[in-house]
Amino acid sequence: MRQPALRRHYGPFLLALVALFLIAGFAPVRAEGLFHTRELFSTDLAAFTKWDRVVERAEQEQHSAATCTAATPGCAAAEWQALVAELRALPLRARVERANDVLNRRPYVTSQANWHDPDHWETPYEFLERGGQCEDYAIAKFMALAASGVPERDLRLVVVRDTAKLLDHAILVVYVDGEPLVLDNQIKEVTPAARVTGYVPYYSINRTGWWYHQHDGATGARLASASGLR
């Protein structure tokens, strides 16, 4: 079984998010949000520099001309373009399942092993070339589905606490007909979020903004303790 990659604790970052939550203009969006939280939405992405950087690098690489073809072994650009074209031809639910299946086959490799940097977030081409860790699977799925025409509003990268393994982890959530579906490198099948247990979200994000997830008192206290918040 692949192991989650976000092993570092999010204490300092969560403190910054809480401070941002207190001063920013959040809009309540769902009384019952992902994993039984209350969601507050903001368009202010200033704190999410890793996300901004990987989005920018991914957009640059996908707009540049490919220097290889499908006949070239290991050509990430051609492989990516073929995947996106395949996804576009599928109905939405089949598209989500296909993206999850294809990208979950890539090898699990930590950022430390790949880049000598535990906090490197990979672009899709980098992920296809080298494999990656949990956030890299989620980012590649996000970008593939977005490129295939899935609306941005229905896609979220979600950073969670895995309360069973006591580790941090990243997944993709896709809304299909209003139902949130989890795409996870640790779970083979696309699974409704309502059936996934043991995940407590820190935040979720796409290119339009991010969601702060409020928990009940007991869950919030456990999450704060696990994350180094005091």
Q: Quote the pLDDT of residue 23.
A: 46
Q: Cβ neighbours of residue 28 under 8 Å, at least 6 residues apart?
A: 38, 39, 40, 41
Q: Is residue 69 part of a domain?
A: no
Tell which wins on pLDDT, 26 or 229: 26
Q: Is residue 2 part of a domain?
A: no
Number of domains in the chain: 1
Instruction: Specify the DSSP class assigned to residue 152.
Output: G
Instruction: Specify the DSSP class assigned to residue 108.
Output: B
Q: Quote the pLDDT of residue 213.
A: 93
Given a cut of 80, is residue 16 above it in pLDDT?
no
Given a cut of 80, is residue 112 above it in pLDDT?
yes
pLDDT band at 216 (very low <50, low <70, confident <90, very high): confident
Q: Is residue 136 part of a domain?
A: yes
Q: Quote the pLDDT of residue 68.
A: 74
pLDDT band at 101 (very low <50, low <70, confident <90, very high): very high
Which of 19-28, 61-70, 134-143, 208-217 is predicted with the least confidence, judged by mean pLDDT?
19-28
Q: Is residue 59 part of a domain?
A: yes
- The distance in angstroms from the start CA to the end CA of the chain is 33
Q: Is residue 6 part of a domain?
A: no
Looking at this protein, which amino acid is placed at residue 70?
Answer: A
CB 121 within 8 A of CB 139: yes
Q: Quote the pLDDT of residue 17.
A: 57
Looking at this protein, which amino acid is placed at residue 91?
Answer: P
Q: Cβ neighbours of residue 217 under 8 Å, at least 6 residues apart?
A: none
Given a cut of 90, is residue 11 above it in pLDDT?
no
Q: Is residue 205 part of a domain?
A: yes
- Provide the CATH number for the domain around residue 218: 3.10.620.30
φ, ψ dihedrals at 147, nearest 5°: -65, -25
| Euclidean distance between CA atoms 53 and 68, whole angstroms | 25
Q: Quote the pLDDT of residue 74.
A: 73
Q: Quick: pLDDT tens for 26-68.
A: 666 655 789 999 999 999 999 999 999 999 999 998 877 566 7
Give the structural domain span for 179: 11-63+74-226
